[in-house]
């Protein structure tokens, strides 16, 4: 609901809790999307690293990975960056923008 200021010619709005809640929901949603993309990329990199050696039994425990396994993981990460990187960077940027909006007095 809009209120008229002391100068009845201008319309002012009271601070809105809804604006803050909306921003909070948008931030939470983008963080969830980012976590999902990160998980997908990590899973794809691990599959590339561990799936290339059918004879041996590589472990998911990264502390026991050899140089060859790490090289396959990193090669997959570099290849997948083209498809995951832009979306992840965009989400990081949007989260930062939304967080800055949270600090504006109008969002309080």
Helix (H, G, I), strand (E, B) or coil at 4: strand
* 28-63 residue pLDDT tens: 999 999 999 999 999 999 999 998 555 555 567 888
pLDDT (0 to 100) of residue 4: 47
Residue 16: pLDDT band with limits 50, 70, 90: low
What are the structure tokens assigned to 29, written together?
A: 């949603």
pLDDT (0 to 100) of residue 53: 58
The model carries a pTM of 0.73
pLDDT (0 to 100) of residue 100: 92
CA dihedral 26, 27, 28, 31 (to 10 degrees): 120
| CA nearest to 46, candidates 30, 34, 59 | 59
Mean pLDDT computed over 69-93: 97
């Amino acid at each position: 609901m809009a209120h008229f200021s002391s100068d009845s010619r201008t319309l002012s709005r009271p601070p809105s809790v809804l604006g803050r809640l909306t921003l909070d929901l948008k931030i939470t949603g983008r963080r969830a999307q980012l976590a999902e993309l990160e998980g997908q990329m990590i899973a794809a990199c691990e599959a590339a690293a561990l799936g290339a050696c059918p004879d041996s039994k590589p472990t998911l425990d990264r502390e026991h990975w050899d140089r060859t396994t790490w090289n396959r993981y990193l090669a997959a990460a570099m290849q997948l960056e083209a498809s995951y990187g832009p979306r992840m960077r965009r989400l990081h940027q949007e989260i930062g923008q939304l967080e800055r909006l949270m600090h504006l007095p109008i969002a309080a």
